[in-house]
Amino acid sequence: VMRLSSALGRVKPSATIAVSQKARALKAAGVDVIGLGAGEPDFDTPDHIKQAAIEAIARGETKYTDVDGLPALKQAICAKFKRDNGLDYTPAQVNVSPGGKPVIYNAFAATLDAGDEVVIPTPYWVSYPEMAALCGATPVFAEAGVADGFKLKPETLDRAITARTRWVILNSPSNPTGAAYTAEDLKGLAEVLRAHPHVLILTDDMYEHIIYDGFQFATIAQVAPDLYERTLTMNGVSKAYAMTGWRIGYAAGPETLIKAMGKVMSQTTSNPCSVSQWASVAALNGPHDFLEARNAAFKTRRDAMLQKINAAPGLTAPTPEGAFYIFADCAGLIGKTSAGGMALSDDLAVCEALLTEAHVAVVPGTAFGAAPGFRLSYATDDAALEEAGQRILAFCQGAR
Ligand code: PLP
């Protein structure tokens, strides 16, 4: 029989990918399923970015590049950090990996040993604990629940840090809640981190550009310059530029860490796709005016969906500051029975019943370490979203 590694035995498969696959299978079987499980914009990659990729292919930019990123892309990333975040980084402080996910994995692989701890606020993005576990470390969860606006409080962070803590992860705007830290919030967390000089900080700023209602994005190395030396500021092109399939993520931080991450890549993936790197140069250096219209569309969808969720008996959700997710608390449904006779014993059962009876696919809160609840993505077209909202509302009204 096939014996798998003990590290893999500690890892769960991605729940978000599982939901998408199940929804796709139902759709293929002819069921009219609306999938609100996936974490990607429904918009297309802007044309000027696609064009840059086509030109790169025509120029013959189809060979290996420097392992951790093309010089031109590293330059564009340094310029982005300066322009958007007021952060000074040199190209030697920049890593480019095949997606934001591999950036984090490479950082963990380069720094974590068995017994090390990684502090992860809950609800969390599904991959953080699993990537830490894959590297032999222990995830330590720090509750940032709905009562706190899904934001980690300084005292909660302080309680979670031990002598074994290697990393603290911050993610703002958050997947799965859309909650985002203000500069003031980050100053409070920085105060705690200042007292624990052995802790590295990973800030996942993937959704930086997807924010609403005039929210001012802030990132910790900018707000607390004294933490710059031990912060890895991570970002990517996947969400802002609708480039999920191109697989480019990046980060900037201490040169020693960046070198170590490059060493991991040199023996695993080698460089990210050369063509995608050139497309990313165009994305970062190019016009950003398309963001405004896209964010306006997201905001309209967010508000329409929130209104239905908060009108649905048994569901509540706060207004997210960013990203394209709503995290709904479904405590009011637990213990009831659906119209189709399914026992709603926990959020997994709620999501199963929603998919089976209402044909709407969402991801259970359990997958994000926060039950009972579910995450839905509103990055889908208005008509489908309107219909999904009606179905969720009717499902909740039908539960007894
Ligand atoms: N970080 C967060 C918070 C995300 O939501 C995602 C994607 O879902 C990623 C990182 C990974 O992005 P990528 O697709 O570039 O690997």
- pLDDT digits 0-9 by tens, 6-52: 888 888 777 777 777 788 888 899 999 999 988 889 999 999 999 99
pLDDT value, residue 189: 98
CA atoms of 383 and 388, how far apart (whole Å): 9
CATH number, domain 62-285: 3.40.640.10
CA 73/CA 54 separation, integer angstroms: 17
Query: In this structure, are residues 273 and 246 in contact, taking their beta carbons and an 8 Å threshold?
Result: yes
| CB-CB contact of 93 with 254 (8 Å) | yes
Task: Determine whether the shortest distance from the Cβ of 171 to ligand 1 is under 6 A.
Answer: yes
What is the atom index within ligand 1 of the atom nearest the CA of 104?
Answer: 10
Candidates 126, 204, 237, 269: which one to mutate for ligand 1, based on the most atoms within 8 Å of Cβ?
204
Residue 20 CB less than 6 A away from ligand 1: no
Q: What is the distance in A from the centroid of ligand 1 to the CA of 193?
A: 24
CA atoms within 13 A on the CB side of 345: 2
- Most ligand 1 atoms within 8 A of CB, residue of 77, 127, 273 to mutate: 127
Instruction: For 120, list phi and psi in degrees, rounded to 5.
Output: -130, 115
Q: Which class would CATH give 6-44+290-395?
A: alpha beta
Helix (H) or strand (E) holding 224: none
> What amino acid is encoded at 368 in this protein?
F
Pseudo-torsion of CA 272, 273, 279, 281, nearest 10°? Answer: 30
Centroid of ligand 1 to alpha carbon of 209 (angstroms):
14
Q: How does strand 231-236 pair with strand 360-361?
A: unpaired
343 alpha carbon – ligand 1 mean position (Å): 33
The single-letter code of the amino acid at 284 is L
Measured distance CA(52)–CA(275) in Å, rounded = 9
Entry field: residues in the chain: 400
Residue 122 belongs to what H/E stretch?
strand 117-122
Exposure string of 10-21, with b = 16+ CB inside 10 Å and e = fewer, is bbeebbbeebbe
pLDDT at 9 (0 to 100)? 84
- The protein residue with its alpha carbon nearest to ligand 1, atom 12, reads 100
- Summarised one tens digit per residue, pLDDT across range 112-161 is 999 999 999 999 999 999 999 999 999 999 999 988 999 999 999 999 99
Instruction: Write down the pLDDT at residue 196.
Output: 98
Nearest CA to ligand 1 atom 7: 39
Contact criterion met (CB below 8 Å) for 37 and 363: yes
- Annotated domain spans of the chain: 6-44+290-395, 62-285
State in Å: Cα 126 to ligand 1 middle.
10
The yes/no answer to whether this complex scores an ipTM above 0.90 is yes
Ligand 1 lined by 97 (C-beta under 6 Å): no
> Helical H runs in 247-381?
255-266, 274-285, 290-311, 347-353
Which 3 state secondary structure label does DSSP give 399?
coil
Is-contact 274 99, C-beta < 8 A?
no
Q: 100 alpha carbon to ligand 1 midpoint, in Å?
A: 5
**What's the confidence (pLDDT) of residue 261?**
98
Give distance in angstroms: CA of 79 to centre of ligand 1. Answer: 22
Ligand 1 within 6 A of CB of 14: no
- Check residue 125 and give its pLDDT: 96
Nearest Cα neighbor of 189 from 147, 229, 231 is 231
For the chain, the first-to-last Cα distance in angstroms comes to 47
The whole-angstrom separation of Cα 281 and Cα 55 is 12
Work out whether strand 165-171 and strand 200-204 pair parallel, antiparallel, or are unpaired.
parallel
CA–centroid distance, residue 338 to ligand 1 (Å): 33
Give kind and range of the element (H or E) at residue 229: none
**Distance, CA 101 to ligand 1 centroid (Å)?**
6
**Best substitution site from 177, 239, 246, 269 to test ligand 1's pocket, by max atoms within 8 Å of Cβ?**
239
> Would you state the pLDDT for residue 392?
98
**pTM of the predicted model, to two decimals?**
0.96
Pocket test for ligand 1, best of 101, 241, 247, 327 (most atoms within 8 A of CB): 101
**Cα–Cα dist 177/319, whole Å:** 9
239 token code pair: 């969400």
Evaluate: CB of 69 within 6 angstroms of ligand 1. Answer: no
Residue among 95, 125, 377 to mutate when testing ligand 1 (max atoms within 8 A of CB): 125
Nearest atom within ligand 1 for CA of residue 40: 8
Phi and psi (nearest 5°) for 193?
Answer: -65, -30
Which residue minimizes the CA distance to atom 8 of ligand 1? 39
From ligand 1's centre to the CA of 199, what distance in Å? 23
pLDDT values of the chain reduced to their tens digit, one per residue, 400 residues:
889 988 888 887 777 777 777 888 888 999 999 999 888 899 999 999 999 999 999 999 999 999 999 999 999 999 999 999 999 999 999 999 999 999 999 999 999 999 999 999 999 999 999 999 999 999 999 999 988 999 999 999 999 999 999 999 999 999 999 999 999 999 999 999 999 999 999 999 999 999 999 999 999 999 999 999 999 999 999 999 999 999 999 999 999 999 999 999 999 999 999 999 999 999 999 999 999 999 999 999 999 999 999 999 999 999 999 999 999 999 999 999 999 999 999 999 999 999 999 999 999 999 999 999 999 999 999 999 999 999 999 999 999 9
Interhelix angle 290-311/382-398, rounded to 10 degrees, is 10
